[in-house]
Amino acid sequence: MGKINQGILDGFSGKVGTVVGMFWKGKPVMRGYKRFIKDRHSEAQLIVRLRFAELSRLSSVFREASLLGFANRSKAHGNTEMNNFVQLNWEAVSANTQAEVNVEYSALQLSAGSLVPVLYGAVSYATPQTVEVGFEGCLDYPGTSERDKVYLFAYNPTSGRGMLGTGADRRSGKATLTVPASWAGEQVHLWAFVVGGGNENKGIASASTYLGEGTIG
């Protein structure tokens, strides 16, 4: 029997329901429980496997963003950033018995935390290979700093690749992201989030914001 010390989001060891907790590189991780299943091709088993496979793939594609956006949460709960991605985005992925998988991109979370976000404006794709977003820094809110960084992340379903921006200062009012030339004419999904850079809020993230779809110029 598994043991959970501080709630379901805490690290745990042993079998809990359909998952097993174990330690990997000093951090508790969660894996699916492998056991004999009379009908491994049942509808429920097929759907769970499809959803988990897609989330595992996405967690790799979104890894750069997750390492920033979930770093503080991962440290607090003693698990990995990739585990946070899978846990928080489970409901954003659905599947059916025809092996069709659907991702609700607007529901995907790339970061989580208590940091105050910025107010995002319209997204521009006018400049070739560039995504640009204006924003209001909200520096008058408690807990913010001029050194906070605003990150853009674009995901290209056609190539199956993601791209993270370098980060813009909260005070700058504009964030940009340069993507590969091969993405020209292709559609991307775009998110933004903020990571604290001040002495008091360093590493604390905001919740991510989905900024919609657009076509790369």
pLDDT band for position 170 (50/70/90)?
A: very high
Domain residue ranges in the chain: 11-107, 119-215
188-203 pLDDT per residue, tens: 999 999 999 999 999 9
Confirm if 129 and 119 have CB atoms less than 8 A apart: no
Tokens, residue 175:
């964030």
Q: How confident is the model over 101-140, as pLDDT tens digits? A: 999 999 999 999 999 999 999 999 999 999 999 999 999 9
**pLDDT at res. 97:** 86
What dotted CATH number matches 119-215? 2.60.40.10
Round the CA-based radius of gyration of the chain to a whole number and report it: 19
Q: Which of 216, 183, 194 is nearest to 72 (CA)?
A: 194
